[in-house]
Amino acid sequence: MYKRILVPTDGSEFARKAELHALFLAKVSGAEIIALSVSENQFITGISVTDEVEQLNLILKDRCEEDLKEFEEMNEDGVKISSIIREGSPANVILDVAVEEDIDLIVIGSSGKSGFDRFILGSVSDKVVNAAKCPVLVVH
């Protein structure tokens, strides 16, 4: 039923739960997983736009790579996982990658690392659910 499953990951508890669901679905359906980590650096204010920004981007990219590596280590069943790191607004990047990669299912955590997102359904997952062109499984 599913051939390509997109799993956005940010290292949060809910992302980890979504990763486990995606691994199970990929195993039973023979699907490939595309793990996506988005580097969002919108909170840069009051610093010079040279070395500091480049350094922050490297730190954010390292964190994305760590999240993806931890996800791949959870894969005991040998499911094919490819990873993508992008920079930008998480919801927009998720939706763009879903189209670019011809995704059949997005498996996303209900809330991310931000405490603000926990008031209701996370703002990223809410935007993805309402705008995605494919089915979306939200894991809480």
Look up the pTM and report it: 0.84
Q: Is 127 exposed, middle or buried (0-12, 13-18, 19+ CB in 10 A)?
A: middle
Q: How far is CA 33 from CA 58, 70, 108, 114, in A?
A: 25, 14, 12, 25
Q: 3-class secondary structure for the chain? A: CCCEEEEECCCCHHHHHHHHHHHHHHHHHCCEEEEEEEECCCCCCCCCCCHHHHHHHHHHHHHHHHHHHHHHHCCCCCCCEEEEEEECCHHHHHHHHHHHCCCCEEEEECCCCCHHHHCCCCHHHHHHHHHCCCCEEEEC
| pLDDT of 138 over the 80 cut | yes
The percentage of the chain sitting over the pLDDT mark of 70, rounded to a whole number, equals 83
What mean pLDDT do residues 91-106 have?
97
| pLDDT of 46 over the 90 cut | no
More confident of the two residues 52 and 73: 73
How confident is the model at residue 50, as a pLDDT? 59
CATH of 4-139, one of 3.20.20.70, 3.40.50.300, 3.40.50.620, 3.50.50.60: 3.40.50.620
What mean pLDDT do residues 76-97 have?
92
List the domain boundaries for the chain. Answer: 4-139
How confident is the model at residue 106, as a pLDDT? 98
What mean pLDDT do residues 99-124 have?
77
Residue 1 structure tokens: 């039923």
Does residue 135 contact residue 106 with C-beta atoms inside 8 Å?
Answer: yes
| pLDDT of 55 over the 80 cut | no
How confident is the model at residue 24, as a pLDDT? 96
Mean pLDDT of the chain: 85
More confident of the two residues 33 and 111: 33
Residue 115 structure tokens: 């405490």
Q: Phi, psi at residue 6, to the nearest 5°?
A: -95, 130
How confident is the model at residue 114, as a pLDDT? 55
Q: Phi, psi at residue 106, to the nearest 5°?
A: -110, 125
Binned at pLDDT 50, 70 and 90, residue 139 comes out as very high
